[in-house]
Amino acid sequence: MIYLDNAATTMMSKEAIDAMLPYFDTYYGNPSSIYEFGTISKEVLERGRRSISKMINCKENEIYFTSGGTEADNFAIKQVCEACKRQKKHIITTKIEHHAVLHSCMAMERNGVQVTYVDVDSRGRVKLNELENAITNDTILISVMHANNEIGTVEPLERVGGIAKKYGIIFHTDAVQSFCHIPIDVRHFNVDILSASSHKFGGPKGVGFMYVREGLKLNPFMDGGSQEMGLRAGTGNAAGIAGMTAAAQKSYDNMRKNIRYETRLRDYMIGRLVREIPGVSLNGHPSYRLPNNINISISGIDGGVLMVMLDLEGICVSTGSACTQSHTSPSHVLLAIGLDERQAGSSVRITLSEKNTAEEINRTVDIIKREVAKLREKA
């Protein structure tokens, strides 16, 4: 098998698996228990908070564990709305956010909150003047993702954070695709709330974290016990957090090396695809781009059909976002960068990891080339 769908999820690192195991059978105490046996489980949470806080330049009491990226995104959008007692509320986000953000915003619209979905340019970068012009006296939140999960475009977070700060508006970013893949500094970016997910950087599924700036008063998302400093009730996922922390440490320590390696592999693959297959165009930004992301449109080809053909060869790629594969509607991200429905339908997303080799890339390009020629012959 050749796995080229690392934006959907990643293989767990051996370090992450090893870190989890003792918390299933040896140290299975409840992290909230007072006795010694429980505090062993509690320590793994505190160690995780400490390690992760250093990776994004915040304090350890600003890290809250969640069940993943989706929960963190829901939390940010919904709890900021709930905490704000203003009569009229307005949120600004972009047209290319993950559904966890978009659908949370739509849920808030049904509760009477006004939402502006700001445009991006043809390479997927948010239009900053449009964003700033959308601000009103009622604006309580700006939510702009750090890096897009479909086209890999990296957003100008520092500029967005600067705008949010200038107007005193809370700034949330979905950093699920960027955390441990490219550097993040929440102080430098002026971020108030950040979402991340363990299974996108070599950790287990079903666990993630959010950073919430100290002093930001939000209500609990889960009601119950006083875990996670009262913000998120529920028995702490000691094993999951141990795995996430170990995965984060490994990815973080190797980040510069991985960026260099993946960028070279990515650009080599893009080069071959564009040169050797007629009608291939790259979606997203050529340089403000995640090191592991390739998203192309292939004229006249159905991306879904090509994906199935690659699957028969043991190659995993994706069309649009994995979360939208159950329905056939074209990707909202590709439409937002100006592709028409046919071009969007002809797109394939290939996302690498540091484990992929040049041989795998060459084999994949050769097969795409062959299958595209076959499909065009039939047409």
Ligand X SMILES: *Cc1c(COP(=O)(O)O)cnc(C)c1O
**Catalytic residue annotation:** 323
Q: Are 244 and 207 in contact (CB under 8 A)?
A: yes
DSSP symbols for 10-52: -PPPHHHHHHHTHHHHTS---TT--SHHHHHHHHHHHHHHHHH
Q: Which is nearer to ligand X, 80 or 368 (CB)?
A: 80
Q: What values do phi and psi take at 178, rounded to 5?
A: -105, -30
Q: Which residue of this chain has its Cβ atom nearest to ligand X in the complex?
A: 69
Least distance in angstroms from the C-beta of 313 to ligand X: 26
Q: Which is nearer to ligand X, 125 or 200 (CB)?
A: 200
Least distance in angstroms from the C-beta of 349 to ligand X: 11
Select the span of 41-49, 63-71, 131-139, 241-249 touching ligand X (CB under 6 A): 63-71
The Cα 319–Cα 307 span in angstroms is 7
Under the criterion CB under 6 A, does residue 155 sit at the interface with ligand X? no
Interface residue with ligand X among 49, 89, 90, 98 (CB under 6 A) is 98
Interface residue with ligand X among 105, 176, 333, 350 (CB under 6 A) is 176
Least distance in angstroms from the C-beta of 206 to ligand X: 7
For the record, the structure tokens of 344 come out as: 């969007």
User: How big is the site for ligand X, counted in residues (CB under 6 A)?
Assistant: 14
Interface residue with ligand X among 3, 23, 53, 69 (CB under 6 A) is 69
Least distance in angstroms from the C-beta of 174 to ligand X: 5
Radius of gyration over every alpha carbon of the chain, rounded to an integer in angstroms: 21
| Residue whose C-alpha is closest to residue 232's, from 82, 71, 104, 58 | 71
Q: Which is nearer to ligand X, 297 or 351 (CB)?
A: 351
Select the span of 34-42, 62-70, 240-248, 362-370 touching ligand X (CB under 6 A): 62-70
Contacts of 376 (CB under 8 A, 6+ apart): 300, 301
Q: Which is nearer to ligand X, 27 or 75 (CB)?
A: 75
| Residues pairing with 289 in the sheet | 153
Binding to ligand X by CB under 6 A, coded x per residue (else -) over 182-211, reads ---------------x--x-------x---
Least distance in angstroms from the C-beta of 200 to ligand X: 6
For the record, the structure tokens of 301 come out as: 């080809």
Q: Which is nearer to ligand X, 174 or 262 (CB)?
A: 174
The Cα 136–Cα 19 span in angstroms is 48
Least distance in angstroms from the C-beta of 172 to ligand X: 12
Under the criterion CB under 6 A, does residue 5 sit at the interface with ligand X? no
3-state DSSP percent of the chain in helix, strand and coil, to 5: 45, 15, 40
Binding to ligand X by CB under 6 A, coded x per residue (else -) over 269-308, reads ----------------------------------------
The Cα 94–Cα 131 span in angstroms is 9
Q: Which is nearer to ligand X, 149 or 331 (CB)?
A: 149
Contacts of 101 (CB under 8 A, 6+ apart): 73, 76, 77, 93, 143, 145, 174
Binding to ligand X by CB under 6 A, coded x per residue (else -) over 222-261, reads ----------------------------------------
Amino acid at 324: T
Interface residue with ligand X among 68, 204, 236, 291 (CB under 6 A) is 68
| Residues pairing with 153 in the sheet | 289
Least distance in angstroms from the C-beta of 150 to ligand X: 9
Residue whose token pair is 């490219």: 182
For the record, the structure tokens of 90 come out as: 């307005």
DSSP symbols for 47-71: HHHHHHHHHHT--GGGEEEES-HHH
Cα 338 vs. chain centroid, distance in angstroms?
22
| Interface contacts to ligand X, rule CB under 6 A | 68-70, 73, 98, 100, 145, 149, 174, 176-177, 197, 200, 208
